[in-house]
Structure 1
Amino acid sequence: MDNSLLENKSPLKFFLLVLLLSIPFWILGAMAGDLTKILPIKLPISALTTFCPLLAATILVYKQREMQGVKELLKLSFDFKKIKNKKWYIPIVFVMPVIAVLSYWYMKMTGATLPEPQTPLLFAFISFFIFLIAAIGEEVGWSGYAIDPMQNKWGALKASIILGLVWAIWHIIPYSQAHHTPIWIVWQCISTVFLRVIIVWIYNNTVKSVFATILFHAMINVSTFMFPNYGSHYNPFVGAIFIIMTVVIVVFFWGTKTLARYRYT
């Protein structure tokens, strides 16, 4: 969508609409249990809220520009041609797997009892495409609609933290319905906030490619659920340590205003 639409986007309306659209799924999640009957991973029914940001953005864009705007919005899902510097596929694809491996090694070295990692190739392949579709449902909204007007107002780092807080709060009910402990949820929310900084960093350095954020978002979930026993031994506290370290490196080298001005260029 063209930059002239930025002034007409309302992140606040978007957030409220995402919340409103999510409520039925949260209620259903409280009543219907989880998805473990059809998936081996620990997900509640309320995880289906993943498509609410896409739906909210579609509704708001349709009100503004009708079907032409909606078509432009949906095209953002596959705007990979914006990624002119193909080197950016390295952090997009590998940052989260590296963090997952480092987390596993740290936990092993500090005495945690962990099974040997097993990665069924078929499960990895299927889960990647499931999480890629789910990431489209989120990132077309978060990155395709909400982040740009926020960056224009507050700068990249502050905007990404604010959006990260909204993103984390939105996840609390699904985390709870997945029967995680309060301390697990707290650390996962902290990880979520800092992950949004990395996502905005990738977005801004790939000429604002929503596809780049979708692919990275999918790798977040794949890396988590590739942890031993489909993510059951994943520790968000340990993950947060390495995610925060990554953000510190990003901010040091790329700055806070745009997260895209590499200091040694």
Structure 2
Amino acid sequence: MSAYGTIERGAAARTVAFATIAFGISWSLWFLHPVVAHDQSLALTLDQLATFGPAVAALLVAGHRVAAGGTDAQPPRLRVIVAALATLTVTVLLLSPRWADVSSPMSAALLVLLITTPAALVWISGSRNPRFAKLLSSILSPRSPWWTYLVAVLLFPVASALGSGLVTLLGADVGSQPLVLAEGSWTGILIVFGVTLLFGGPLGEEIGWRGWLLPTLQARLSPFLASLIVGAVWGLWHLPLHLRGVYDAGMGTGPAGFALRVASSCLLAVIFTWLYNRSRGGLLVVILLHTSVNNTSGYWLPVNIGLTAVLLVIATLMVVTDRMYVRPPQASQRRSTWIPA
């Protein structure tokens, strides 16, 4: 067998291992929800811990790729300490009300684990261990253009507003708006943003999806094809939540509804890939984008066919203008900075 064939087999095996670990952790915790549903605090804690399955999987399989041009610049130790302590302080404050509902030692232990996990990930991002530093260092070592952060925060709200405007012009029903932004205080908005980022999926998921899986696939596939694979995995990973009826977002229940959800994940994955590559592999940028997507669709603006149409146009423009359909190494240099070890 050629050396190239050995590398390909190794990459495939590591990808399968990553998916198995990510799904195993998350699905196990999500499927425990009905068992502990009588304890709402414990059930919520398990649901939120499940979002870190992809991050744990990425950490376990990390170390099998290197950054183009050498190793990543490690953040200064002081920055790591301050960021980890700040993250821990924020998580303690955000989840402090939950202690009133703790009903057992197990519930308390899992809540402590949930509170400390984000700070632990921030601490690991400053690790001197290359296999972890290469995966997480971009969280604390900004290497992304300033405008990519603006796109991450504003793209989805603007797309949602345009989509709702399009639906209104066509005389159709815009859909329900869970919360009215004008009625929320800035403090409340920041709290929702923080809880979503830290415990609602963006942090725990993006370390896996865009931190490890996407660059691994892009090393061998075009950004567009890699996006479709990540999107399919990303959508399938949410299956237990769909079965519980908390992830349909108006797309309907059953196989048809879930197929629409997976298709929407593939559409979003193309946009995430474009921004990830344009941000030079900035994890913080895609974490912010994921948070913006979750907050906009879950709290402030409705999800409707207009939004899907706008996102489809945006994704198409991204694919065409950046030639995301071209396989490496002929692809644009704006693609992922990662290459296989």
CA distance in 1, matches of 2:23, 2:292: 25
Give the match for residue 210 of structure 1: 283
CA distance in 1, matches of 2:211, 2:262: 22
Instruction: Note the residue ranges of structure 2 that are not aligned, 5 or more in a row.
Output: 1-6, 66-126, 336-341
Query: Do the aligned residues in 2 keep the contact of 1:46 with 1:174 (CA within 8 Å)?
Result: no
CA distance in 1, matches of 2:235, 2:45: 16
Give the match for residue 126 of structure 1: 191
CA distance in 2, matches of 1:78, 1:34: 39
Relative to structure 1, is the Cα distance of residues 75 and 163 closer, same or farther in structure 2, using a 3 angstrom cutoff? same
Query: Do the aligned residues in 1 keep the contact of 2:29 with 2:50 (CA within 8 Å)?
Result: yes
CA distance in 2, matches of 1:34, 1:216: 34
Bigger mean CA offset, 91-100 vs 70-79: 70-79
- SS of 2:52's equivalent in the other structure is helix
Q: How many residues align?
A: 244
The share of aligned pairs that are identical, in percent, is 21
CA distance in 2, matches of 1:239, 1:95: 12
Relative to structure 1, is the Cα distance of residues 87 and 117 closer, same or farther in structure 2, using a 3 angstrom cutoff? same
Relative to structure 1, is the Cα distance of residues 116 and 67 closer, same or farther in structure 2, using a 3 angstrom cutoff? closer
Give the match for residue 77 of structure 2: none
Deviations 1:89-137 (A, max 9, x none): 3322211011111232234343316469611133321111122223111
Query: Do the aligned residues in 2 keep the contact of 1:25 with 1:46 (CA within 8 Å)?
Result: yes
Q: Pick from 217, 221, 226 the counterpart of residue 299 of structure 2.
A: 226
Give the match for residue 135 of structure 2: 73
TM-score after normalising by structure 2: 0.62
Which of the two has higher C-alpha Rg? 2
Relative to structure 1, is the Cα distance of residues 47 and 107 closer, same or farther in structure 2, using a 3 angstrom cutoff? farther
RMSD: 3.2
CA distance in 2, matches of 1:260, 1:215: 23
Deviations 1:26-77 (A, max 9, x none): 2123334599x67xxxx9964542111111112223899x981235434333
| 2:192 is the alignment partner of 1:135 | no
Whose relative contact order is higher, 1 or 2, with alpha carbons under 8 Å and at least 6 apart?
1
Kindly provide the amino acid, as one letter, of the partner of residue 243 in structure 1.
L
Query: Do the aligned residues in 2 keep the contact of 1:156 with 1:259 (CA within 8 Å)?
Result: no
Relative to structure 1, is the Cα distance of residues 117 and 140 closer, same or farther in structure 2, using a 3 angstrom cutoff? closer
Kindly provide the amino acid, as one letter, of the partner of residue 108 in structure 1.
T
- 1:215 CA drift (Å): 1.0
Q: How does 1:44-193 map to 2 (within 5 A)?
A: 46=47, 48-61=49-62, 68=129, 69-79=131-141, 81-83=142-144, 85-109=145-169, 110-112=171-173, 114=176, 118-119=180-181, 120=184, 121-133=186-198, 134-179=201-246, 180=248, 181-182=252-253, 183-193=256-266
